[in-house]
């Protein structure tokens, strides 16, 4: 599994990219994370997580959509790749499987 391992923060970022679909770029991801988890990642931490995800092949990126408040800089939009979707599923299955094995926890 080495090389495909995901850290907790990376996992959250990957999920957010998936949730945002077409709209996933740096600031949007940051805002969405804040909204859902209540924590505001630093732009540096976020960027490095995104870079790592990209290197692992879970997301890809394209540059487009320059706006006035970005001084004409384009946004880097991220999108989940097939292997990204796959790894999320694997994690989900694994966790569900494991949680089930804990006694005294009922899962509906």
Partner 1 sequence: MRRSDPPRFATRFFASFCHSRHLEGLEGDLYELFERRLETRGLIWAKFFYLIDMLTLMRASVAKPVKRNRMTNNFGMFKNYFKTTIRMGWKRKGFSFINLFGLTIGLTSVIFISLFVQDELAFDEHITDAENKFRIYNIREGDDGDVNYLPIVPPAFSPALNSEFSQVLKSGRLIVDYGGTVFNVGEKVFSEKEGVYAEPYALDILDIKLIAGSFTEDMEPKSVLLSRSLFEKFFGDVPFEKQTLKLTRSTLSVAGIFEDMPDRSHLDLEYIFPFKWMEQSTAPVRMQSWVWQQFYTYVELRPEVDKDDFLSQFRVFVKDKSHEMTQAYGFFYTPFLQGVRDIHLHSSNFEWDIAKSGSFQSILFLFIAAGIIVLIACLNFINLSTAQAMKRAKEVSVRKFIGANRTQLLIQYGFESTIYTLTAGLISLVFLVLLIGPFNTFTEKSFVMIDLLTLRNGLIFFGSLLLLGILSGWYPALILTRFNPLAALHGGKIGNKSIRRKVLDPRQMMVGAQYILSVGLISISLIMQNQYQYLRETDMGFNKENLIVIPLTRALATDMESTREAFSSHNQVEDVTFCFGVPGGIVAGDGVYLPDRRKNEFSSHMIIVDYNYLSTMEMNMVAGRGFSKEFGTDPQKAFVVNETAVRNFGFSSPEDALGETVHWKTWTNSDSLKKGKIIGVVNDFNFKSLHNQISSVVIHMWESNLQNMIVRIGADNPLSTLEFLETQYRKYEPTRPFEPQFVDSTFEQFYESENKLSQLFTLFTVLAILTATIGLFGLVSYSIVSRAKEISIRKVLGAGTGKLIRLLIIRYIWLVLFSLAIAFPMAYLLADTWLDNFAYRIDIGPGIFIPVAVAMIILTLLTVGFQAIKGSMANPAERLRSE
* Binding status of residue 73 toward partner 1 by CB under 8 A: yes
Q: What is the C-alpha separation between 101 and 108, in angstroms, rounded?
A: 14
End-to-end alpha carbon distance in the chain = 30
Distances (CA, A) of 78 to 1, 44, 83: 24, 16, 14
Segment contacting partner 1 by CB under 8 A, of 8-16, 40-48, 86-94, 95-103: 40-48
Stretch that binds partner 1, among 7-15, 23-31, 80-88, 100-108 (CB under 8 A): 23-31
| Residues contributing to the site for partner 1 (CB under 8 A) | 25-27, 42-45, 47-48, 51-52, 61, 63, 66-67, 69-71, 73-76
């Amino acid at each position: 599994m080495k090389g495909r391992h995901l850290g907790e923060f990376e996992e959250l970022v990957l999920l957010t990219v998936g949730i945002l679909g077409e709209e996933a770029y740096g600031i949007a991801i940051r805002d969405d994370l804040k909204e859902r988890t209540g924590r505001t990642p630093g732009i540096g931490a976020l960027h490095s997580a995104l870079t790592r995800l990209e290197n692992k092949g879970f997301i890809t990126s394209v540059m487009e959509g320059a706006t006035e408040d970005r001084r004409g800089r384009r946004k880097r939009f991220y999108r989940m790749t097939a292997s990204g979707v796959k790894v999320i599923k694997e994690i989900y299955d694994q966790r569900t499987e494991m949680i089930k094995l804990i006694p005294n926890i009922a899962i509906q």
